[in-house]
Amino acid sequence: MNLLPKSVNRRRHWFNEQNFLSKLARNALRLGKPVAVQLYTLYLLFKSPETPLRSKMLILGALVYFISPIDLIPDFLGPFGFTDDIAVITMVCRQLQATITPSLKAQAQAAIARFFSQ
């Protein structure tokens, strides 16, 4: 049973894991290491089977907002383009702070470190 409206189902091809990881890789340096780590931490938390459904819905909202081409502030506006995305990501991370384990954060930091190794 599919719970998404038909209009979302038709556009779901850009709501996928590959698009998220691709956009994160393309924009990691522009976002900065702390934000990239937060994003990847949310991604890992979303994939975890132990994460409660309510938390997954919050995470999904933040990740979809990040990959969505429709933003409050368009991403192509240089340094200001990701301001709204960063606000949403930070808000969700703070709400789920108790759920984020040190090992999960370390895993995200290790994955993101390859973009900032230079």
Digit-coded pLDDT (tens) for 18-49: 888 888 998 888 889 999 999 999 999 999 99
Select from 54, 34, 66 the least CA-distant residue to 99: 54
Question: Chain-centre distance of CA 100, in angstroms?
Answer: 14
Packing angle of the helix pair 33-47, 83-95 (nearest 10 deg): 50
Q: Which residue has the higher pLDDT, 111 or 117?
A: 111
pLDDT over 80 (residue 8): no
Digit-coded pLDDT (tens) for 83-108: 888 999 999 999 999 999 999 999 99
On the 0-12 / 13-18 / 19+ scale of CB atoms within 10 A, 86 is middle
When mean pLDDT is compared over 7-21, 28-42, 56-70, the highest value belongs to 28-42
